[in-house]
Amino acid sequence: MNGAVQGNQSPIDIDSRAAVPAAGMPELHFEPTAYRLDGTHYMPAGDQNWIILDGVTYRLVQMHFHRPSEHYLDGRQFAGEMHAVCQSDDGGTAVVGVLLSRTDGVIDLAATPVNLAAVVPDGRVFRYDGSLTTPPFTEGVKWVVYEAPVELPWACVSAGARALQPKGATLAVTSRP
């Protein structure tokens, strides 16, 4: 039995009209941070970045970029996608995904401290339970994908992009009250 692949895989084509309205807007706590490039992952110096999702704190452990985007939105793929990978004390994983309409920014992310808050847009977020998009494709990942695409101000290396997966868990959409 392949325990890693059970039917809630990522990425998916986000069908915005099928998303179920729900509470649960993530709280983001991001600060200017230096990042060190390790392969295709940008590793933060320090633990001053975290999110709170459904009352659980997840700390940023790395961020990386995909070109083109892994998630689609209503059938549309974007130039790129940023993933901020966060983990809770009990081993849970949450990923903040931001769709990128342009990925040719000029700031050298490995040389200049940056604030993730400069990239995350306002507006609605889509949430669903999915998986890592790289081996071992572990499930149980809390996905938070922002609806509005942004232009990335930073130069970044790409981790490639996994193909779309069949839709699994329920898709929810959350906005500020």
Neighbours of 114 (CB within 10 A): 19
User: Tokens 């999110």, residue?
Assistant: 51
- Best CA proximity match to 20, nearest among 118, 133, 126: 126
Q: Does 71 bind Zn ion (CB under 5 A)?
A: no
As measured in angstroms, the least distance from the Cβ of 114 to Zn ion is: 18
Q: Does 83 bind Zn ion (CB under 5 A)?
A: yes
As measured in angstroms, the least distance from the Cβ of 81 to Zn ion is: 7
Q: Does 142 bind Zn ion (CB under 5 A)?
A: no
As measured in angstroms, the least distance from the Cβ of 60 to Zn ion is: 13
Pick between residue 67 and residue 83 the one whose CB is nearest to Zn ion. Answer: 83
- Which position's Cβ is nearest Zn ion? 83
Q: How many residues bind Zn ion (CB under 5 A)?
A: 1
Q: CA-to-CA distance for 53 and 62, rounded, in angstroms?
A: 17
Helix then strand then coil, % of the chain, to nearest 5? 5, 45, 50
Pick between residue 28 and residue 161 the one whose CB is nearest to Zn ion. Answer: 161
Two tokens, residue 39: 């392969």
Q: What is the DSSP letter of 119?
A: T
Q: Which residues bind Zn ion (CB under 5 A)?
A: 83
